[in-house]
Structure 1
Amino acid sequence: MKSPLSSYNPADFETVKQVALSFPETEESVSHEGTPSVKVRGKLMCRLHETGSFIPIRLSFEIRDQYLDSHPELFHLPEHFKNYPYICMWVHHYDIQLLKQVLTLSWRELATKKAIKAYDQAGNK
């Protein structure tokens, strides 16, 4: 039987990982089914889904719904994720500026107030 990641290309998560790791308190990790991920203080921020076709990114329900409505070509919500604060971004269909925007929002939900304040004071708002 073929592994779900057998067609996975490590480059598919590389840009997402590099942007996510640019925030304070982030660390590279391994998550479900051995997939690459980034965590903030031990909490999952984003990862490559085991199918290799999309990237779940932690976002509040309200913000998630806004992005699902405004960018349905980039984001989707599989049934399994509906009850969790995540949005799913297609691996090959995203804009780098939008990616940075979504990951910034995700990071702000998981980072400490001290880290957010220092980040903002450094001019990174």
Structure 2
Amino acid sequence: MNFIYSDFEAVKNAALQFSGAEESVSHNGTPSIKVNGKLMCRLHEDGTFVPIRLGFEQRDFYLEKYPEIFHLPEHYRNYPYLCFWLPLRDKKLLHEILEISWKMLATKKQISDWEKGLNS
């Protein structure tokens, strides 16, 4: 384990604005964010990147559009995850992928409330 918890801080703070998102601990004690108990993203144990849950179609889009930011280690090829290098300085892009991930894990009511501006 070679990670520094503070490297995940910006991702964590951005993700926690979504309803149902909560801090957790995942693989090998790494910090993570779960939505309704399901893994949204986590700091990889080597501390250099964050795997985030995205659909396969979205994953391919971001890999092609931002090859300098996103990558796909062999281990993740068969899973609906995409990995991004830290730090991800583009706050708008970070919010965009976190929202896509969150919508995959949130309830219909949480999504409806979010879209109406009732997020808590």
The two structures have a TM-score, normalised by structure 2, of 0.95
Runs of 5+ in structure 2 lacking a partner?
Answer: none
Q: Which AA in structure 1 matches 2:98?
A: L
For residue 45 of structure 1, give the secondary structure of its aligned residue in structure 2.
strand
Partner of 2:84: 89
- Aligned counterpart in structure 2 of residue 34 of structure 1, from 29, 35, 55: 29
Q: Which AA in structure 1 matches 2:115?
A: D
Larger radius of gyration, structure 1 or 2? 1
For residue 18 of structure 2, give the secondary structure of its aligned residue in structure 1.
coil
Query: Is the alpha carbon distance of 1:82 and 1:94 closer, same or farther for their aligned partners in structure 2, counting shifts above 3 Å?
Result: farther
Alpha-carbon offset, residue 76 of structure 1: 0.1
Q: Which moved more, 1:93-102 or 1:62-71?
A: 93-102
Write the deviation string for residues 68-111 of structure 1: whole angstroms up to 9, x where unpaired: 00000000000000000000000124411100000000000000
Residue pairs, 1:1-125, within 5 angstroms: 4-5=1-2, 8-122=3-117
The number of residues matched between the two structures is 119
Distance 1:76 1:58 in 2: 13
Distance 1:123 1:73 in 2: 35
Write the deviation string for residues 3-49 of structure 1: whole angstroms up to 9, x where unpaired: x32xx322210000011111001110000000000000110000000
Of the two structures, which has the highest relative contact order with CA contacts closer than 8 Å and spacing of 6 or more?
A: 2
The two structures have a TM-score, normalised by structure 1, of 0.91
Instruction: Please report the RMSD computed on the Cα atoms of aligned residues, expressed in angstroms.
Output: 1.3
